[in-house]
Copies of this chain bind each other. A is one copy, B any other.
Amino acid sequence: MDFVIKGDIVYSRSPRELAVTENGWLVCANGCSQGVFTELPEQWKGLQVIDHSGKLVIPGLCDLHLHAPQYAFRGLHMDEQLLDWLQKYAFVEEGKFSDAAYARRAYGIFADQMRRSATTRAAIFATVHREATEILMDEMERSGLISVVGKVNMDRDAPAYLVEESAQRSAEETRAWLDCVAGKYSRTGPIITPRFIPSCTEALLSALGALVRDRGLPVQSHLSENPGEVELVCSLVPESKFYGDAYDRHHLFGSHGGAIMAHCVYSSEEEIELMRSRGVFVAHCPSSNINICSGIAPVRKYLDLGLRVGLGSDVAGGESESLFKEMRCAIAASKMYWKYVDGTAAPLTFPEVFWMATVSGGAFFGRVGSFEPGYAADIVVLDDAREPYPQKLDVAARLERCVYLSADKTAIVDKFVQGDRIAL
């Protein structure tokens, strides 16, 4: 469907600048933006006009990191740090996904809530279970969002009910899963997903690296999230120069296909430099980093160095799928970082976190997260009058306000992914 949306249109022109067109026209054809105009150009006057006058029209948001099975316990169990939290809560919940009926129920809820959110693209962890992972992919496909989903690999350091019996078996399952989903979906693809170094033997990482090289697949994992975890990785892989090197030795760090590394709170200078040179995407997950007491990532430094940074809700370390909440939290976390860690690291601004949630993170998916011509027509429309105010506000202020008030829970009135309308 080709169409034109009329409304108050905002997207990110750069980390520092919002492109705002009040009462503008956003033209969408062949699933892509044809640009934003103050007057509708003659050539597009035949298209259907969707009138969202007075409403905010923004690019759909990109969630670079979340765990679908953990959605069931979002907003709970924030009383432990990472390694204990995994053993006590996350692994226990993930174990339930050996049951396809439970997976269908839980993933049905998850995909339904993602459909209603401001997110249009996501990189998602499933569990080790092949059948449940396929169920998740079926549900995500049905949601209309575009996503990559990973069957998780873990062959050590997890409870017996969750750990895979060997590196070989884990790799075989992964290959079987890849074969099974190949060509099955139009919006949903696979991504290689070693959970993190503590869960994966060298043999497993090596087998996954071979898959990445052979099939040109992207990778997602965790990196330098928590001090205890970083120490554990050092002791598990003493031959690695740093945490990220333990992935890189097996071609799992952006050398073949794209890579998303979540967290990067404690990355060393060498690790940061390798991320930069390899174009690794940092999934910044401030809610999660605070909830499970990991710390605050040095995002100002990453932006200054030109790293690719997006946002991740990291459900269920993060309490919800809302990326509006995550933008607000990224600003808040950066203020505490400035206050208590590094007084030279200027707090993040609203335009910067909006850029991270849209076009910066969106680059993982291609030309996504902007309304410049040629970008995917991923669109979210917000009726911000649902949070009333007594005075006139300009368009940029209205958007900032929506983000601070988490209006993505209450004010989304229309949504498109690559030009396809999502039933809300």
Q: How far is the CB of A164 from chain B (nearest CB, A)?
A: 24
Contacts of A291 in B (CB 8 A): 332, 335
> Per-position contact with B for A390-420: 1 when CB-CB < 8 Å, else 0?
1101000100111111100110000000000
Residue in B closest to A336 when the chains form the complex, CB atoms: B336
A390 & B290 in contact (Cβ 8 Å cutoff): no
Q: How many residues of A contact B (CB 8 A)?
A: 50
A397-B335 in contact given A347-B293, A405-B319, A409-B410 (Cβ < 8 Å): no
Central interface residue in A112, A397, A404, by most chain B CB within 10 Å: A404
Residue on B with the closest CB to A406? Answer: B406
Docked pose: A290 CA to B337 CA in angstroms: 11
Q: Which residues does chain B contribute within 8 Å of A105, judged by CB atoms?
A: 390
Contact residues in B for A79 (Cβ distance below 8 Å): 349
CB within 8 A of A409: which of B335, B388, B406?
B406
Most buried by B among A78, A113, A347, A349: A78
The stretch from A42-50, A69-77, A142-150, A166-174 touching chain B is A69-77
- Of the candidates B320, B336, B403, the one whose C-beta lies within 8 Å of that of A405 is B320
Interface string of A281-294 (1 = CB under 8 A from B): 00000000011010
CA distance A75 to B400 in the complex (A): 7
Smallest CB separation, A351 vs chain B (Å): 11
Q: What residues of chain B lie closer than 8 Å to A387, measured between beta carbons?
A: 75
Question: Chain B residues with Cβ under 8 A from A109's Cβ?
Answer: 388-390
A328 within 8 A of B: yes
Stretch in A130-138, A177-185, A338-346 touching the partner: A338-346
Contacts A74-B401, A75-B404, A403-B75 given: A390-B293 contact, CB under 8 Å?
no
Q: Report yes or no: A72 in contact with B391, Cβ–Cβ below 8 A.
A: yes
Q: How far is the CA of A291 from the CA of B72 in the complex (A)?
A: 30
A102 to B390, CA, bound (A): 8
Q: Are A74 and B405 in contact (CB under 8 A)?
A: yes
Give bound CA distance, A31 to B393, whole Å. Answer: 42
The smallest C-beta distance from A92 to any residue of chain B, in angstroms, reads: 11
Q: Interface digits, A105-140 against B, CB 8 Å rule (1 contact, 0 not)?
A: 110010011000000000000000000000000000
CB of A222 to closest CB in B, whole Å? 19
Do residues B78 and A293 form an inter-chain contact, with CB atoms below 8 A?
Answer: no
- Residues in A330-364 with C-beta less than 8 Å from chain B: 331-333, 335-336, 338-341, 347, 349-350
On whether the beta carbons of A390 and B76 are closer than 8 Å, the reply is no
Cβ-based interface call for A296 (8 A): yes
Which chain B residues lie closer than 8 Å to A397 at the CB level? 76
A280 to B144, CA, bound (A): 54
Task: Report the bound CA distance from A102 to B328 in whole Å.
Answer: 29
Complex CA gap A318/B164 in Å reads 47
A295 on interface, CB distance cutoff 8 Å? yes
Kindly list chain B residues whose C-beta atoms are within 8 Å of the C-beta of A391.
72, 96, 102, 106
Q: Please tell me if the beta carbons of B74 and A404 are within 8 angstroms of each other in the complex.
A: yes
Besides A75-B401, A102-B391, A296-B336, 17 new A-B residue pairs in contact (Cβ under 8 A), listed by A number: A73-B389, A74-B404, A75-B400, A75-B403, A75-B404, A76-B400, A76-B401, A78-B331, A79-B349, A113-B388, A291-B332, A333-B336, A336-B336, A340-B340, A340-B341, A409-B409, A410-B410
In the assembled complex, 6 residue pairs joining A and B whose CB atoms fall closer than 8 Å, in A order, are A75-B405, A78-B404, A106-B390, A291-B332, A319-B405, A409-B409
